[in-house]
Amino acid sequence: MKVGIAGYGNLGRGAEAAISQAEDMELVGVFTRRDPSTVKIHSDAPVYSFDDMDKMADEIDVMIICGGSATDLPEMTPALASKFNVVDSFDTHANIPEHFANVDAAAKAAGKIGVISAGWDPGYFSIARIYANSALPCGTDYTFWGRGVSQGHSDAIRRIEGVLDARQYTVPVPEAVDRVLSGENPELTTREKHTRECFVVAEEGADKEEIERQIVTMPNYFDDYDTTVTFVTQEELNRDHAGLPHGGQVIRSGRTGWDREYHNTFRFMLDLDSNPFFTSSILVAAARAAYRMSQAGESGAKTMLDIPPVMLLPESPEYARAHLL
């Protein structure tokens, strides 16, 4: 399976590493909007300009699009789906139906497959919700994120005057998780579910009280949460908070039986040292499925909810039945 990577940020680097762990895949090249000569990648694969893509359509079985959901993917995924089987990690939940329709139209017209919103949320967390709801129609879903770095919240802090750098961790409240697991089906407010921990590097002489006030009162990002702010030096931030760990859990608490007398807990948890490297590992598995669906004559937009699990696995269905079922 010949694979291309479009975009070389954190996700692109993760996809490159994940492809190296996939024995059934070969990285044909990395495509960049920058000057290719300035982009140094980890492997020996060539680096091309985006402009070189069109003429390589026959050499690439599936293109993994590693761009941002805000501005890159809404344009890139439909455009590339008219030439390649593609996979993206579009994660703006509210806009998924529109993005799906755009990719579907482009992919169907070209006879290609476009898998959108692959990753872990959306992605594996969504899949967990589907399995949980299918088995337990009478029940309640809960999602907790973290402990992990939210890049969006870290960026928001960095935009405050006097802030040089910042890292924000989203942290689930243990008592809330315990209440969910107990089966009481609590209604939990935003504040009851997560806390936010901020590690901030301030400019010399900056008004730290004012920075803290601006953080904890920031609408949408922080004002609905119990937020703690800790000022650290740049050295401390680099030393203790350099990684991008994340994770979380999907829980469904549901009841079976005629009188709903049996309580059941369905719980899916991820604990990830590197959020982008795990996300791109799923992108690579989804790329495998995209190519296989294309080979089977299918076309159009798909999400991970539409993909039979066995299509993600390098091994054959026979192997999976004998060894993993």
Q: At what angle do helices 275-295 and 10-20 cross, to 10 degrees?
A: 60
CB of 45 to a second copy, least distance (A): 13
- What is the C-alpha R_g of the chain? 22
What's the closest the beta carbon of residue 113 comes to a second copy, in angstroms? 13
DSSP state of 123: B
Q: Rank residues 185 and 265 by Cβ distance to a second copy and give the closer one.
A: 265
- CA separation for the pair 236, 181 (Å, rounded): 36
User: Measured between alpha carbons, how far is 126 from 132 in angstroms, rounded to an integer?
Assistant: 10
- CA pair distance 269, 258, nearest whole angstrom: 30
Q: How far apart are CA 125 and CA 142, in angstroms?
A: 11
Three-class SS of 162-184:
CEEEEEEEEEECHHHHHHHHCCC
Least Å from the CB of residue 237 to a second copy = 20
Grouping H, G, I as helix, E, B as strand and the rest as coil, residue 273 is coil
- Pairing assessment for the beta strands 300-302 and 163-172 based on DSSP bridges: unpaired
Contact, 264 vs 154, CB < 8 A?
no
Residues near a second copy, by CB under 8 A: 14, 17-18, 20-22, 42, 93, 96-97, 100, 117, 122, 124, 126-131, 133-138, 181, 247, 256-258, 261-274, 277-278, 281-282, 285, 288, 303-310, 312-314, 317-318, 320-322, 324-325
Nearer to a second copy, 102 or 227 (CB): 102
Residue 142 or 266: the one with the smaller Cβ distance to a second copy is: 266
Q: Which of 116, 173, 170 is nearest to 146 (CA)?
A: 170
What are the start-end ranges of the E strands in 68-133?
A: 86-87, 113-115
Nearer to a second copy, 55 or 242 (CB): 242
Q: Which is nearer to a second copy, 22 or 216 (CB)?
A: 22
- Work out how close the CB of 93 gets to a second copy at its nearest, in angstroms, rounded to a whole number: 7
Helices (H) and strands (E) in the chain, counts: 11, 14
Compute the least distance from the CB of residue 313 to a second copy, in Å.
5
Cα dihedral 104, 106, 110, 116 sign: negative
Q: Residue ranges of the alpha helices (H) in 136-165?
A: 151-158
Which of residues 170 and 214 has its CB atom nearest to a second copy in the complex? 170
Whole-number minimum distance, CB 209 to a second copy, in Å? 37
For a second copy, give the closer residue by CB, 182 or 233: 182
Tell the smallest beta-carbon distance from residue 240 to a second copy (Å).
17
* Omega within 30 of 0 (cis) for the link into 147: yes
Q: Tell me how many degrees the CA angle 13-14-19 measures, rounded to the nearest 5.
A: 100
Residue number with CB closer to a second copy (128 or 176): 128
Q: Minimum Å distance from CB 37 to a second copy? A: 22
- Smaller CB separation from a second copy, 106 or 127: 127
Q: Supply the minimum distance, in Å, between the C-beta of residue 319 and a second copy.
A: 10
